[in-house]
Amino acid sequence: MSEIFWHIGYTKAASTYLQTWFGSCEEIHFENFRPTWRKLVTVSDIAFKGQEIRDWLADTKQQATTKSIIISHERLAGSPHSGHYDQLTIAKRIKEIAPNSKIILIVREQKELFSSIYRQYLRAGGILLSDQYFSEFWDGRIPRFNFAPYYYDRVLEIYQSIFGMDGVFVFDFNLLKHSENDFQNAIINKTGLKLGSKNIGQTNCGIPINELAEIWIENNFKKHHTNSLGGAKSLLNDLPEEFKLKLKRYLATNYCDDVDANINSIVANRFMDSNFNFRELTGIDFSSSELDNV
């Protein structure tokens, strides 16, 4: 009987790296869950059809020639840009579909993670400044960023209540930054998965700090319609080059924010008690982490 592991995220916490590594290992059967994940994640409770995922999983088991199956998609822990509003729903659906599932979750020190998340938001076309993006204001309609899913001690308790104390494996992204070999060995030793150690290297680069203002400005000047190539056209393209440079310089100076300084201020000691409890539960210590441009 196959054992099933679900690597569920977090977003911007080595997901691309892990998917590359898992996909290169012959001793396990790896599924990157695209595009099937949408049937599990993006449908409402009323429209959800668990049998479709069960059928897909049954086909996956038949195709697997190894004892262990890893299914991976960072959206399985929710999306930061919508506050992980469906995180618990997805976890319960996984349990319903495959009751003996085990969970692999990668966590990352919150300030570092938020910096990376905001960069991803800008890359996707976001127009909010960082203090607006991380604002706790919510009008109760469209989900937006929420700090709650980053109180990791509570998150761990919830997943363990669903999948059992021995069914949830949590690892620190920061370990990968310091030693790829130690990160891989930690996963191999704790999960028991037959994953060969391999040199994967860096798989996903963030936006350098000096480019953030440029991207924010471009995003805010894009038209709502698209051009013939399907991409958004910037209104800046219609301006004389000299005026465009002056406008960008003015906006960057007067409106663009110091992202990492804002995040440090917004987060402050918000997660201190949670991180202390999390360290007691897992041994993962975020106290020495520093905010950097990753």
**3-state per-residue secondary structure call for 219-283:** HHCEEEEECCCCCEEEHHHHCCHHHHHHHHHHHHHHCCCCHHHHHHHHHCCCCHHHHHHHHHHHC
pLDDT at residue 138 in the model:
78
- pLDDT for position 255: 60
Which of helix, strand or coil describes residue 30?
Answer: strand
**Whose structure tokens read 């059809």?**
49
Taking the C-alpha atoms of residue 221 and residue 227, their distance in angstroms, rounded to an integer, is: 14
Strand partners, 226: 232
Domains of the chain by residue range: 3-206+269-282, 209-254
| DSSP string for 182-217 | HHHHHHHHHH-----------------GGGHHHHHH
Maximum Cα–Cα distance for the chain, whole Å? 67
Q: Cα–Cα distance between 236 and 246 in angstroms, integer?
A: 11
Q: So what's the pLDDT on residue 235? A: 65
Query: 217: number of CA atoms within 13 Å, CB side?
Result: 21
Tokens of 153: 């001690």
CB of 101 within 8 A of CB of 6?
yes
Query: Rounded to an integer, what distance in angstroms lies between the CA atom of residue 99 and that of residue 93?
Result: 9
Give the residue from 111, 122, 117, 119 showing the smallest Cα distance to 174: 111
pLDDT digits (tens, 9 = 90+) for 242-266: 877 777 777 767 666 788 889 999 9
Q: Distance between CA 226 and CA 174 in Å, rounded?
A: 39
At residue 84, the pLDDT reads 96
Count Cα neighbours of 121 within 13 Å in the Cβ-side half-sphere: 24
Q: Is there a contact between 61 and 129 (Cβ–Cβ < 8 Å)?
A: no
Q: Which contiguous run of DSSP H or E holds residue 34? A: none
Fold of 3-206+269-282: Rossmann fold (3.40.50)
Residue in the structure block whose two tokens are 């000299």: 242
Tokens of 3: 């054992």
- Residue-wise pLDDT tens digits, 137-150: 778 888 899 999 99
Rounded Cα–Cα distance for residues 99 and 91 (Å):
11
The pLDDT of residue 223: 54
- Amino acid at site 144: R
Q: Which stretches of the chain drop beneath a pLDDT of 70? A: 1, 210, 223-237, 252, 254-256, 288-294
Q: Which pair of tokens denotes residue 36?
A: 């099937």
Q: What pLDDT, on the 0 to 100 scale, is given for residue 228? A: 41
